[in-house]
Structure 1
Amino acid sequence: MAAAARLAVAGHRVVVYERAATFGGALGRVERDGFAFDTGPGLLQLPAVFRDLFLKTGKEALEQCVELTQVEPAVRHVFADGTEVSLPNASRAGVGEALDAALGEGAGARWAAFMNRAREAWDRSRRPLLEEPLWPNWQVLADREPYPAVVQRRLLRRDRVATTLAEVAELELGGEPRLRALLEHYALAYGLDPRTAPASAAVLPYMEQTFGVWSVRGGPRALAEAVYERCLARRVEFRFGAEVVRVVDKDGRAAGVELSDRSAEDADFVVAGVAPEVLDGLLPGPPIRAAGEVPPQAGLPSRLTVLLALRGGRPEGTAYRTVVHAGDRQGELDLLFGPRPALAASPTVTVLRPGDPALVPDGEHEAVTLTVTVPAHAEFSEADVDRVLTVAERAVPGVRDRLLWHKVRTPADVAAATGADGGSVPAPALASAGGRLLHPSNSTRIPGLYAVGGWAHPGGGLPHAGMSGALVAGLIVEGPDFRGSQ
């Protein structure tokens, strides 16, 4: 939709074909008995991406269309030993003070030193990974580690340099297990193994703690609705329940689409917001990625989401987001990323308690969402859900006594909504690591065919989706000489 709105403003007639009955893909909504739950991301980072979208596509600014609020605190962490810490929003100094108070003097300074290095990684990688089309010589990004090397000197042993996020935690955070869990969670939340995620993944906590996290009144689905309405205002046409089964190829160029009802529509350009394996299935012949391009990511985990309708209102002062860390962090990673991926007995659970009156029938009820990173293709029993509820009780005391009903969304539900294999969820693009965490470019080997969304550059996440739309629109409007967003 971000691409559609921008292209419409540039003078194109734009038609969106969506096989589902509504817009938004993974950013869906579940409603029942006056409760409403979002099925995608619960919070918004880098709202500037969407401010730019609304600025470039109409007179009404983003904040005139949706109500955004900085969440305070940004997050509350409950560690395995029972220690708790609440981190303030977009306050580096405040984060340091909170860590010192909860974890001991010096914890804040170690974290601040790490964040200074994370800033260097952000400054070096922000533009090529977010604001520019993927470089033709993308191997430079694959081989170059933007995170500054910090050498660990050791007596009578070879010096060590952190190359993964887990090594950053081990070598640079003083061996503090709770600081390590805090850092590694940023990778796990995106479905990445911190033991293999590159040190450049330091940009993930940097983005959150520098630019802040925001809630959307009515949930992030309200943001999708605002973008949809902006598209309608720009005369973008939508065809719901319209499944595209083939991209029409004429003289080696994308020339339209064929629908499941066997009708066909001509087009000068085709923009596909689907998973790579789905896109490959829409064209006869070889994959749409030419040899030498970034290959699509494979084997990424999915998410298990448990939606809780509770009696009793949200207590005053409750954190919007709480991360309850696994009792055995190493064991959780071994199971999740091992040869036979499985859910840990006590997994890391993210608990969202919005406290938004628009999401509940009245003030005497609460809507809570639990999210766990889980293996793709996995199936789950009520016993598995019960284990997640047990962990969640550390953040929501008495949750079982308050429970009216719950709904479970599994990887199969994610797959049905997005078409991604096994319900895999794409992660943001990251530099280094041999390029395995980059995403394929927005252009393809077929002239006139472009890829947009989480499975194309610059990867998964709400701000990345917005940037993806801006990049595709730029490539179509300005051509291959387009050098990126300003």
Structure 2
Amino acid sequence: MARIAVIGAGMGAMAAAARLAVAGHRVTVYERSGTYGGSLGRHAAEGFTFDTGPGLLPLPAVYRDLFVKTGKEPLERCVTLAQVDPASRHVFADGTAVSLPNASRAGTVAALDAALGGGAGAKWGAFLDRAGDAWDRSRRPLLEEPLRPDRQVLARDPYPAEERRRLLRPARRAGTVAEIGAWELADARLAALLDGYALGYGLDPLRAPASAALLPYMEETFGSWYVVGGMRELARAVYERCLARKVEFVLGAEVARVVEKDGRAAGVELADGTVAEAAHVVLGARPRPDLVPGQELWGEGGVTVRPGGSGSGRFVVLLALRGARPAGTVHRTVVHPADGAAEREAVFGGRTAAHPTVTVLRPDDPSTRPDEAHEAVTLTATVAPHGPVDWTDESLRARYADTLIDAADAAVPGLRERVLHSWVRTPAETAADTGAEGGAVPPPALAGAGGGFLHAANRTRLPGLLLAGGWSHPGGGLAHAGMSGALVAGTVVEGDGFRGSR
């Protein structure tokens, strides 16, 4: 079988590598850093351990399928998955709070009605019904099939927005996340809840198409899961599955360019000048023009597709706390600000938000802390990337960490007094670790908006060069990255006849 070179050891790239190796190919992964896992990093200090990337796993079926297709041991034998219940607690600016159960539509509706009143649960339930229709319409072409050259099926928004009648004006339908919140949910707290899902994926609610309704639908339908020991354990399990399938890893090896011969990809050249020949090259990092100079590669069928929006990053505060984690503590709490519009304008305008949406993670996992008299807590906010904001400025980093801690006090009363140690990670660290420009985090692909929120197709204009991971179809997020790996492997193994996973 063929020799295949994979650039990068992120989750999408490793998912592709494992599947290709099982198909009989000889696969070598070249990773610029000294480790695997991409955004699934880990910070360990003073007896505490933290995830530095995603803290929860949506759609675990994607990785269950990977493990079924690549070996005898299922995912649950390689990692321990724990369903997070409640899935999340939300604290709103007016002081109201609600805990939403994991994967229970009826439970969510009841919880919202009890906490917010005014038929809030019914409004949210009706919204999820419409989101479910959008899921049924777009799931296969958006997530399970290679990106079609014409893309017309994904240019139209699949979300069946309600018609909004206006006096002496034509009726309108919500076309963005923000409009769904204002016109269909009609409750500032429900609107903040929906905005929070978009922001969490790095999307601007004012611009993201209504089809972003799929994001809360997927979480509330399929649930949220925690990998015991931290999400880094999932990266370890996929890495070890690759090794078991004889995938070779070359760490600390930066690829300078893709070698082209006779009009197709023929291998990679490393920064030290070493050339490794290959019949196929899989790029598991953000596409950049200098990899194949002089060619525009990142679209099929004469159409170039770029991720929508200017990009955003993550500001993370890792807190080692004195005192035990109280019994009954919710794993994930989201603290919503009073002025979501101001936050959006700041983040997507290249500034820092005075009052950001803050996600607080408090895992009930003994491996994250030195003993039961301490607790490990992670605070995260979506922020502008490095560049528009200088995230290497130590005074700014300290001030913004204080901003997140102040906001998180609504979720962890007396938080500041409990802090024993703290560490800060910004888009500047993300850029250094992953090579992503500005430390930007790729959003998931979305249908609608004329295709403006799609990503580059997995197949490029250069035969033999394919794209995997969050910067390619179907976009960012752990589940989406795993899907991209399956699409790339299917394309290589089945060729032009491949029509998607089954």
> TM-score, normalized by length of structure 1?
0.97
Task: Select the residue among 340, 350, 355 that pairs with 1:346.
Answer: 355
Task: Select the residue among 425, 428, 434 that pairs with 1:418.
Answer: 434
For the residues of structure 2 that align with 1:138 and 1:415, how far apart are their CA atoms?
Answer: 31
Aligned pairs (5 A) from 1:300-315: 300-315=311-326
For the residues of structure 2 that align with 1:99 and 1:296, how far apart are their CA atoms?
Answer: 33
Task: Select the residue among 36, 50, 64 that pairs with 1:23.
Answer: 36
Residue 361 of structure 1 corresponds to 370
1:40 maps onto 2:53 in alignment: yes
Residue 234 of structure 2 corresponds to 223
For the residues of structure 2 that align with 1:289 and 1:384, how far apart are their CA atoms?
Answer: 36
For the residues of structure 1 that align with 2:216 and 2:142, how far apart are their CA atoms?
Answer: 16
Residue 452 of structure 1 corresponds to 468
Aligned pairs (5 A) from 1:58-457: 58-142=71-155, 144-173=156-185, 175-277=186-288, 280-290=289-299, 291-297=302-308, 299-338=310-349, 341-377=350-386, 378=389, 379=391, 380-457=396-473
TM-fit CA distance, 1:252: 1.2
Partner SS for 2:195: helix
For the residues of structure 2 that align with 1:352 and 1:295, how far apart are their CA atoms?
Answer: 32
For the residues of structure 1 that align with 2:478 and 2:298, how far apart are their CA atoms?
Answer: 24
Given residue 462 of structure 1, which amino acid in structure 2 is its aligned partner? L
Answer whether contact 2:307 2:453 (CA < 8 A) is retained.
no
TM-fit CA distance, 1:283: 1.5
TM-fit CA distance, 1:195: 1.4
Answer whether contact 1:276 1:296 (CA < 8 A) is retained.
no
TM-fit CA distance, 1:184: 1.3
Partner SS for 1:480: helix
Answer whether contact 2:397 2:424 (CA < 8 A) is retained.
no
For the residues of structure 2 that align with 1:92 and 1:149, how far apart are their CA atoms?
Answer: 20
Given residue 313 of structure 2, which amino acid in structure 1 is its aligned partner? S
Answer whether contact 1:43 1:214 (CA < 8 A) is retained.
yes
TM-fit CA distance, 1:330: 1.5
TM-fit CA distance, 1:149: 3.2
Long gaps (5+) in structure 2:
1-13
Change (3 A) 1:218 1:478: same
Partner SS for 1:159: strand
For the residues of structure 2 that align with 1:411 and 1:404, how far apart are their CA atoms?
Answer: 24
Answer whether contact 1:38 1:219 (CA < 8 A) is retained.
yes
TM-fit CA distance, 1:397: 1.3
For the residues of structure 2 that align with 1:336 and 1:295, how far apart are their CA atoms?
Answer: 20
Partner SS for 2:257: strand
Given residue 146 of structure 1, which amino acid in structure 2 is its aligned partner? P
Answer whether contact 1:305 1:409 (CA < 8 A) is retained.
yes
Residue 11 of structure 2 corresponds to none
TM-fit CA distance, 1:154: 3.0
Answer whether contact 2:306 2:453 (CA < 8 A) is retained.
no
The superposition leaves residues 250-294 of structure 1 with CA deviations (integer Å, 9 ceiling, x where unpaired) of 1111111111221111111110111122xx222221232254232
For the residues of structure 1 that align with 2:259 and 2:86, how far apart are their CA atoms?
Answer: 50
TM-fit CA distance, 1:297: 4.6
Given residue 170 of structure 2, which amino acid in structure 1 is its aligned partner? R
For the residues of structure 1 that align with 2:235 and 2:346, how far apart are their CA atoms?
Answer: 35
TM-fit CA distance, 1:418: 1.9
Larger deviation, residues 210-219 vs 353-362? 353-362
For the residues of structure 2 that align with 1:315 and 1:213, how far apart are their CA atoms?
Answer: 21
1:485 maps onto 2:497 in alignment: no
Given residue 167 of structure 1, which amino acid in structure 2 is its aligned partner? E
Answer whether contact 1:327 1:347 (CA < 8 A) is retained.
no
Given residue 55 of structure 1, which amino acid in structure 2 is its aligned partner? V
For the residues of structure 2 that align with 1:274 and 1:312, how far apart are their CA atoms?
Answer: 41
Given residue 357 of structure 2, which amino acid in structure 1 is its aligned partner? T
For the residues of structure 2 that align with 1:223 and 1:140, how far apart are their CA atoms?
Answer: 34
For the residues of structure 1 that align with 2:263 and 2:423, how far apart are their CA atoms?
Answer: 47
TM-fit CA distance, 1:90: 0.2
Answer whether contact 2:307 2:445 (CA < 8 A) is retained.
no
Residue 8 of structure 2 corresponds to none
Answer whether contact 2:144 2:501 (CA < 8 A) is retained.
yes
Larger deviation, residues 5-14 vs 372-381? 372-381
Partner SS for 1:358: helix
For the residues of structure 1 that align with 2:223 and 2:351, how far apart are their CA atoms?
Answer: 32
The superposition leaves residues 187-206 of structure 1 with CA deviations (integer Å, 9 ceiling, x where unpaired) of 11111111111111110100
Partner SS for 2:267: strand
The superposition leaves residues 84-120 of structure 1 with CA deviations (integer Å, 9 ceiling, x where unpaired) of 0000000000000000000004111111111100000
TM-fit CA distance, 1:385: 1.4
For the residues of structure 2 that align with 1:50 and 1:465, how far apart are their CA atoms?
Answer: 10
Change (3 A) 1:116 1:296: closer
For the residues of structure 2 that align with 1:465 and 1:477, how far apart are their CA atoms?
Answer: 19
Given residue 459 of structure 2, which amino acid in structure 1 is its aligned partner? S
For the residues of structure 1 that align with 2:139 and 2:180, how far apart are their CA atoms?
Answer: 20
For the residues of structure 2 that align with 1:171 and 1:304, how far apart are their CA atoms?
Answer: 31
Percent identity (aligned): 65
TM-fit CA distance, 1:298: 5.6
Answer whether contact 1:453 1:469 (CA < 8 A) is retained.
yes
Given residue 44 of structure 1, which amino acid in structure 2 is its aligned partner? L
The superposition leaves residues 164-193 of structure 1 with CA deviations (integer Å, 9 ceiling, x where unpaired) of 1111111111x2111111111111111111
Partner SS for 1:158: strand
The superposition leaves residues 124-145 of structure 1 with CA deviations (integer Å, 9 ceiling, x where unpaired) of 1111111000011113312x11
Larger deviation, residues 49-58 vs 357-366? 357-366
RMSD across aligned positions (CA): 1.2
Answer whether contact 1:275 1:418 (CA < 8 A) is retained.
no
